[in-house]
Structure 1
Amino acid sequence: MCIFCKIVKGEIPNQTILEDENFLAFNDINPTRKIHVLIIPKEHYDSFDVVPSNIMADMTTFIQKVAAKLDIKQSGYRLITNIGDHGGQEVHHLHFHLIGGEPVGRLVR
């Protein structure tokens, strides 16, 4: 079972940002920015290439809700997914990185 499926089942704790019956958004354990959230479907899909289009449409709406909850629309953010080993995908469970804010470790003056 993949690590994200274990998180969905509650076997691994997480810092949940937003959740509904189909999707989960939680803080990345190794953030690259002040805001670094992972957004996953609760059902396992290996990657973007295999997820049904209706699930992807619902996931897009969920991602918009996460961005609204984090109140980062005006400051800007990145939404990234990696597909396949050569595309940088490390966990083979569809997920998006929502990344915003200052880099981790950077002093704000």
Structure 2
Amino acid sequence: MSCLFCRIVDGEIPATVVHETKTTVAFRDIRPKAPVHVLVIPREHVPNAVDLTGEQLGDLFAAAKEVAEAEGVSETGYRLVFNTGPDSGQEVFHAHLHVLGGRKL
């Protein structure tokens, strides 16, 4: 598969992984927009957020909570963002949840 994020999940492309579960992988964004900028993705290929199941969404949000705690932004606050479709700025068409924090947003 040519999906960049699927290749990260498969270990074909290196990434700075900060959290993993049976169903998710979280890694640092290569072009961070904040001091903490981590992408949380489902291991299974899903093109965008609106195609995720309720269970997948729950897994992503649970992983995002763990990432925020580990990155030290859970007390000060952080932003969770899904971009869906080209007009939103989605560049990789594998659903991903941005965890942004570490400064006022």
TM-score normalised per structure 1? 0.88
List 4+ stretches of structure 1 deviating above 3 A: none
Residue aligned with 2:70, SS:
helix
Residue aligned with 1:49, SS:
helix
Larger Cα Rg: Structure 1 or Structure 2?
A: 1
- Counterpart residue identity of residue 52, structure 1: T
RMSD (Å), alpha carbons: 1.3
- Counterpart residue identity of residue 12, structure 1: I
Rounded Cα–Cα distance in structure 1 between residues aligned with 2:78 and 2:3: 27
- Whether the 8 Å contact between 2:81 and 2:97 is mirrored in structure 1 is yes
Matched, 1:91 2:88: no
TM-score normalised per structure 2? 0.91
**Residue ranges of structure 1 left out of the alignment (5+ in a row):** 104-109
Give the aligned partner of residue 80 of structure 2: 79
Rounded Cα–Cα distance in structure 2 between residues aligned with 1:61 and 1:101: 19
- Counterpart residue identity of residue 97, structure 1: H
Give the aligned partner of residue 107 of structure 1: none
Aligned length: 103
Identity among equivalent positions (%) equals: 39
Matched, 1:3 2:4: yes
- Counterpart residue identity of residue 101, structure 1: G
CA drift at 1:19: 0.5
Matched, 1:52 2:53: yes
- Whether the 8 Å contact between 2:47 and 2:94 is mirrored in structure 1 is yes
Q: Deviations over 1:12-60 (max 9, x none)?
A: 0011110111101111111121111111011000011111111111221
